[in-house]
């Protein structure tokens, strides 16, 4: 994806990821929150199920895409000096990638195949 092509594609990505995030959060609210507080074993039981495991991984990826477009929008609006913009965008991308790797490691470590 080129920088220029990031208009429509980014917009679509943000909307689709928002829809997925909304559904995931709803599911969590309905199935997980009523069982709180839960211990680690109970938590692992829920996230070890492949469906929940993959859904959570997808959630993190959707969050990555959604936040990337959103924060990029804020940076484009408010941060005009190019070097500062580059630093912020790179920092933000790194943080997002680290979070995604971390969530992936968590999910891979508990999945029951």
Q: Which stretch binds other proteins (CB under 8 A): 5-13, 19-27, 34-42, 51-59?
A: 5-13
Residue with tokens 């829920």: 46
Closer residue to other proteins (CB): 3 or 40:
3
Q: Which two tokens stand for residue 106?
A: 């968590």
Question: Cβ(58)–Cβ(64) under 8 Å?
Answer: no
Instruction: Pick the binder of other proteins from 1, 8, 36, 41 (CB under 8 A).
Output: 8
50 CB contacts (<8 Å, ≥6 apart)? 111, 112, 113
3 binds other proteins (CB under 8 A): yes
* First-last CA distance in the chain: 35
| CA 26, chain centre distance (Å) | 15
> In whole angstroms, how close is the CB of 58 to other proteins at the nearest point?
22
Site residues (CB under 8 A) for other proteins, limited to 54-113: 72-73, 76-78
Smaller CB distance to other proteins: residue 51 or 82? Answer: 82
What letter does residue 1 receive in the DSSP assignment? -
Residues forming the site for other proteins (CB under 8 A): 3-12, 72-73, 76-78
């Amino acid at each position: 994806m080129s920088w220029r092509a990031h208009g429509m594609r980014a917009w679509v990505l943000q909307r689709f990821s928002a829809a997925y995030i909304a559904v995931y959060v709803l599911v969590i609210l309905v199935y997980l929150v009523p069982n709180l507080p839960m211990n680690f074993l109970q938590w692992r039981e829920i996230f070890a199920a492949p469906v929940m495991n993959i859904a959570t991984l997808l959630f993190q990826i959707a969050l990555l895409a959604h936040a990337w477009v959103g924060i990029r929008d804020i940076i484009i609006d408010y941060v005009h000096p190019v070097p500062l913009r580059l630093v912020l965008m790179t920092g933000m991308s790194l943080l997002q990638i680290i979070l995604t790797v971390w969530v992936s490691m968590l999910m891979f470590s508990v999945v029951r195949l």
